[in-house]
């Protein structure tokens, strides 16, 4: 019963490098989300996908792109990494965030990303 799986768990990049963070869920959830967590800032939504085939910007989308590859997978890409993108990234999913906004989100273990 894996839930939400994120890879990698840790990554160090140099400024300007590109990177894709992977996320997969096995709960047959329709909605998936990417957050970043920074000290004192809480969780901020980067992008979300309410259902397969759709993606929407969240609060802090600049510098990121996403792909909802299929119902299970939702990847986050940094095309040209910057030190300001050093953070812990969490992927989450919920049963149906579009129609049933009372559904809780299930989180992955996070990816700790450092950009030098």
* Contacting positions for other proteins (CB under 8 A): 4, 33, 35, 40-45, 48, 50, 56, 58, 90, 92, 97-99, 101-102, 104-110
DSSP letter for 104, please.
P
The residue (of 14 and 40) whose beta carbon lies closer to other proteins is 40
We find the least distance from the C-beta atom of residue 50 to other proteins, in angstroms, to be: 5
CB neighbours of residue 10 within 10 Å = 9
CA nearest neighbour of 70 among 96, 49, 43, 99: 49
We find the least distance from the C-beta atom of residue 15 to other proteins, in angstroms, to be: 27
The residue (of 14 and 102) whose beta carbon lies closer to other proteins is 102
Angle (CA) 20-14-4 rounded to 5° is: 30
CA distance 77 to 97: 22
We find the least distance from the C-beta atom of residue 65 to other proteins, in angstroms, to be: 18
The residue (of 17 and 51) whose beta carbon lies closer to other proteins is 51
């Amino acid at each position: 019963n894996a839930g939400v799986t994120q890879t990698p768990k840790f990554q160090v990049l140099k400024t300007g490098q590109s990177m894709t963070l992977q996320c997969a869920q096995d709960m047959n959830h329709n909605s998936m989300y990417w957050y970043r967590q920074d000290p004192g800032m809480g969780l901020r939504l980067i992008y979300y996908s309410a259902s397969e085939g759709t993606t929407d910007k969240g609060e802090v989308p600049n510098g990121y792109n996403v792909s909802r590859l299929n119902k299970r997978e939702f990847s986050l890409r940094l095309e040209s990494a910057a030190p300001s993108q050093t953070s812990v990234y969490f992927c989450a999913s919920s049963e149906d965030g579009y129609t049933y906004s009372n559904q809780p989100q299930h989180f992955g273990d996070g990816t700790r990303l450092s950009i030098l």
